[in-house]
Amino acid sequence: MNEVRFDALLPAEMATRAEYLGVQKAETGVLKTFALSVLAGGFIALGSVFATTTAAGTGSMPFGAAKLMTGLVFCLGLVLVVVAGAELFTGNNLIVMAWASRKVSTQKLLRNWAIVYAGNFVGSVGMAVLVFLSRQYGFGGGAVGETALKIAAGKVTFGFIQAVSLGTLCNTLVCLAVWLTFSARTTVDKIVAIIFPVTAFVAAGFEHSIANMYFIPFALLIKQFDPAFVTQSGVDVVNLTWGTFLVNNLIPVTLGNIIGGAALVSATYWAIFLRARKG
């Protein structure tokens, strides 16, 4: 009779699971991958909505406590991705473990990343449009919208190196969160594994490319279609444009996310646990 284990998987077993899942993700068909990617973008956007709404009510709290609260509620996004099932670009940087073992080709790795990134964008921006149409940003006497504008305006002020660094730190923690879920045997295990790393990256102010596909387009929609609200809020959004979104944030943050997830987490754990089994 086989022994039934209820304890968490050990790191070496987690590496094997990560490698196996990387192969499965890379082999998934285009339409299914894209559909799951759109869901993931929407899920991360929902976490971002939750975080923005919560942040709007923390003005009187100490800085650290407010950031902690915002980070905790943002965890909703990755919990939905992992438990409900979806394809998130930042988490899929872990496919590099299967690629390094030569179980996934470079073409399939890049194809997966491209499809998932595009799907995440559609899901995130689509959710931004839906939330804008709901006029949820007017809740709390406009505090939610004001907070959304402040968040987005701050995200387009980074220099290139700073944005890359913030993206690297962010996805190091996100991929560590996903990595920890590979040890899980229950849904509760997965949720608990996600909470601390994700809360840490949000509280610290690190940058997540997919979340920013919601945060910044949402603020841009408010700026473009409700200028009266922007004027009333008093938030300076003169530098908030689609161009600064791409150049000052999305491109360098995405690069940093890849460095953090693919190099600092995936390549490191592959070298420690799987390199000896290569081939």
Which amino acid, 108?
K
Q: In this predicted structure, what is the pLDDT of residue 58?
A: 87
Those residues of the chain that have pLDDT short of 70 are: 1-6, 278-279
User: What is the residue extent of each domain of the chain?
Assistant: 11-277
**Exposure class string for 84-119: b at 16+ Cβ within 10 A, else e:** eebbbbbbbbbbbbbbbbebbeeebbeebbebbbbb
What is the per-residue pLDDT for 5? 58
Specify the 3-state DSSP secondary structure of 163: helix
Q: What's the CATH class of domain 11-277?
A: mainly alpha
Position 6 scores a pLDDT of 62
Place of tokens 């394809």: 87
Q: How far apart are CA 203 and CA 104, in angstroms?
A: 35
DSSP element (H, E) containing 188: helix 187-204
To 5 degrees, how large is the angle CA 132–CA 44–CA 267? 150
Q: Are 214 and 121 in contact (CB under 8 A)?
A: no
Using CA atoms, how far apart are residues 20 and 238, in angstroms rounded to an integer?
A: 47
What integer pLDDT is reported at residue 1 of this predicted model?
A: 43
Q: What whole-number distance in Å separates Cα of residue 151 and Cα of residue 219? A: 8
Distance between CA atoms of residues 223 and 89, nearest Å: 28
Amino acid making up residue 98: A
Residue 212's pLDDT is what? 99
Which pLDDT does position 211 carry in this prediction? 99
Tokens at residue 247, please? Answer: 């150049």
Residues 6+ apart with CB under 8 A from 189: 8, 181, 183
Which of the 8 DSSP states describes residue 102?
T
* Confidence at residue 35, expressed as pLDDT on a 0 to 100 scale: 99
What's the burial of 159, exposed, middle or buried (CB within 10 Å: 0-12/13-18/19+)? Answer: exposed
Q: How is residue 162 written in tokens?
A: 């700073």
